[in-house]
Structure 1
Amino acid sequence: MNLLLLVVALGLAGASPLEDYKTCQPHSRPWQVYLHGGGVSCSGALIDEWWLVTSFDCAPTSYSTIASLGEHDVTVEEGTEQHIHVAEVIRHSPYRSPLHSLTMVRLTKPARFTQYVHPIRLPSHCPQPGQTCYVSGWGSTIPNQYEPPQSLKCITVPVVDDQTCMNTFPEYLYWSPFMVCAGQVNTDNCMNNGGSVMVCDGQLQGVQWFRHGCRNPADPSVYTKLCMYNDWINNVRDSYIPILPTETTPRMQTLL
């Protein structure tokens, strides 16, 4: 009888989805943004009170997509969130060429900085092979397994050299100096969430471009090399300065 119960238990275990234990410490990534609505469900990184960055694949829709800040479990309201609609969506040109995959997103109103919502610094230098970085996003960290977004996941990845990354590219993809790769065999290497954020030494160093490690755990995943884009990011921020509403007119109308 005991043997029969053991066989049944093992059978049920085999039929169940694989467990995924890579859940982040809640609210340990206050710059992480969950973008949803308007046909998207992906991640981004807050870089100041108005702006966030994400990949080309994560293509928000102005005034339809919502940026949820201060999130951990996206299936419940935890009282820490700020839900703000997306205003401007600026993709790096040429769009999704072999060279670039980066989108900047401006919010319709500024984020309020709290212990749960805070920006990440832009890079002051580029990541180096062998450096340990941290990737976060909503979705499965198990290769070839889909998981609906719930709690924020975190994995630890080593940066790998460019040649190692190029050797894993399918024939239809081209290497670009605007790419950085991280993850290798016998390491955490899959974050199945568009626009997942890579942070190294407290600086934003990448947003996910191709999640090769979710297809084959031996392959590194590809991230946009953010250290190459500081000038472009700053130029976009300077060119799209939001106009804040003033209180002068309503007050004058009240007095009249």
Structure 2
Amino acid sequence: MNLLLLALSLGLAGAFPLEDDKGCQPHSRPWQVHLHGGGVSCSGALINQWWIVTSFVCAPTSFQTVASLGEHDVTAQEGTEQHITVADVIRHSPYRSPLHSLTMVRLASPARFNQYVKPIPLPSSCPRPGEICSVSGWGSTIPNQYEPFQRLKCITVPIVDDMTCMNTFPEYIYWSLGMVCAGQSNTDNCLNDGGSVMVCNGQLQGVQWFRHGCSNPADPSVYTKLCLYNNWINNVMDRYTPFQTTVIPTTKTT
């Protein structure tokens, strides 16, 4: 009888997906953005009232993609959301290059900051191997398993040195100095959401590039090394400054 019960329990375990319980504390990542519509469904990071950073493959479509801020459960209206249309989309050039994976997204109207919507600072230095970081996004955190995304997920990962990461690459993927890797054996290094956001010590350090840890849980996942792109990011924001009416103060005369 015990053997029969064991067989049934194993059969049921194989019939149902594993539990994915890496949910973030609701609204603990107020910089997280859900980009959807216009052929994309990805994450990004809000860096000021107008601009979002995401990966190359997550580049949205101007005036077709919506950026949802203040999200936690994307299947429900929680009263905290701001849904803003995407205006400008600037990919890092050269396009289709294996050396870069970065897109800047300008909102059609500015985000309103509150406890649910806040920007994340750009990095002041690069992450070091062994540094512990947080990755957030919508999707499964169980390797090789699809799960319809609903609530924001969070995983904790260590930064991995470049050589260790390169040794896990398949032959068809080239290493780039614009990459940083995080996650290793016995850590949660899979979050199956394009553009997942990596934050280290309160600063934006990466957006997901390759989800290697979702194919092999022993491999690190790859992120864009944002500490190398501060100048490019700031130059884009300077060149594409949104038009705003400036109020000139008047001087009272007597």
Q: TM-score range by the shorter chain?
A: over 0.9
Structure 2 residue identity aligned to 1:215: S
| Structure 1: tracts of 5 or more residues without a match | 248-256
In the other structure, the counterpart of 1:114 is: 114
In the other structure, the counterpart of 1:185 is: 185
In the other structure, the counterpart of 1:52 is: 52
In the other structure, the counterpart of 1:214 is: 214
Structure 2 residue identity aligned to 1:114: N
Q: What is the deviation of 1:4?
A: 5.7
In the other structure, the counterpart of 1:24 is: 24
CA distance in 1, matches of 2:95, 2:215: 24
- After superposing on structure 2, the runs of 4+ consecutive aligned residues of structure 1 that deviate more than 2 Å are 1-14, 244-247
**Any idea what SS the aligned residue of 2:233 has?**
helix
In the other structure, the counterpart of 1:130 is: 130
In the other structure, the counterpart of 2:195 is: 195
User: 196-205 or 95-104: which moved more?
Assistant: 95-104
In the other structure, the counterpart of 2:155 is: 155
Percent of residue pairs identical: 80
Q: Is the 8 A contact 1:87 1:105 kept in 2?
A: yes
What TM-score, normalized by structure 1, do the two folds share? 0.93
**Any idea what SS the aligned residue of 2:193 has?**
coil
User: 141-150 or 106-115: which moved more?
Assistant: 141-150
In the other structure, the counterpart of 2:38 is: 38
Q: What is the deviation of 1:148?
A: 1.8
CA distance in 1, matches of 2:212, 2:4: 41
Structure 2 residue identity aligned to 1:35: L
Per-residue Cα deviation, 1:70-113 (whole angstroms, up to 9, x for no partner)? 00000000000000000000000012312100000000000000
| Structure 2: tracts of 5 or more residues without a match | 248-254
CA distance in 2, matches of 1:149, 1:58: 16
CA distance in 2, matches of 1:95, 1:210: 17
Structure 1 residue identity aligned to 2:203: Q
Structure 2 residue identity aligned to 1:70: G
**Any idea what SS the aligned residue of 1:164 has?**
helix
CA distance in 1, matches of 2:216, 2:2: 39
**Any idea what SS the aligned residue of 2:159 has?**
strand
Change over 3 Å in CA distance of 1:216–1:6 after alignment to 2 = closer
Q: What is the deviation of 1:122?
A: 0.2
Per-residue Cα deviation, 1:30-56 (whole angstroms, up to 9, x for no partner)? 000000001111100000000000001
CA distance in 2, matches of 1:4, 1:168: 42
Q: What is the deviation of 1:13?
A: 3.1
Q: Is the 8 A contact 1:73 1:151 kept in 2?
A: yes
Structure 1 residue identity aligned to 2:176: S
Q: Is the 8 A contact 1:95 1:101 kept in 2?
A: no
Q: Is the 8 A contact 1:87 1:107 kept in 2?
A: yes
Q: What is the deviation of 1:59?
A: 1.7
CA distance in 1, matches of 2:148, 2:184: 25
CA distance in 1, matches of 2:114, 2:99: 36
CA distance in 2, matches of 1:171, 1:245: 53
Q: Is the 8 A contact 1:191 1:211 kept in 2?
A: yes
**Any idea what SS the aligned residue of 1:106 has?**
strand
User: 83-92 or 236-245: which moved more?
Assistant: 236-245
In the other structure, the counterpart of 1:252 is: none
Q: Is the 8 A contact 1:73 1:150 kept in 2?
A: yes
Per-residue Cα deviation, 1:105-143 (whole angstroms, up to 9, x for no partner)? 000000000100000000000000000000000000000
In the other structure, the counterpart of 2:250 is: none
In the other structure, the counterpart of 2:104 is: 104
In the other structure, the counterpart of 1:241 is: 241
Q: Is the 8 A contact 1:198 1:207 kept in 2?
A: yes
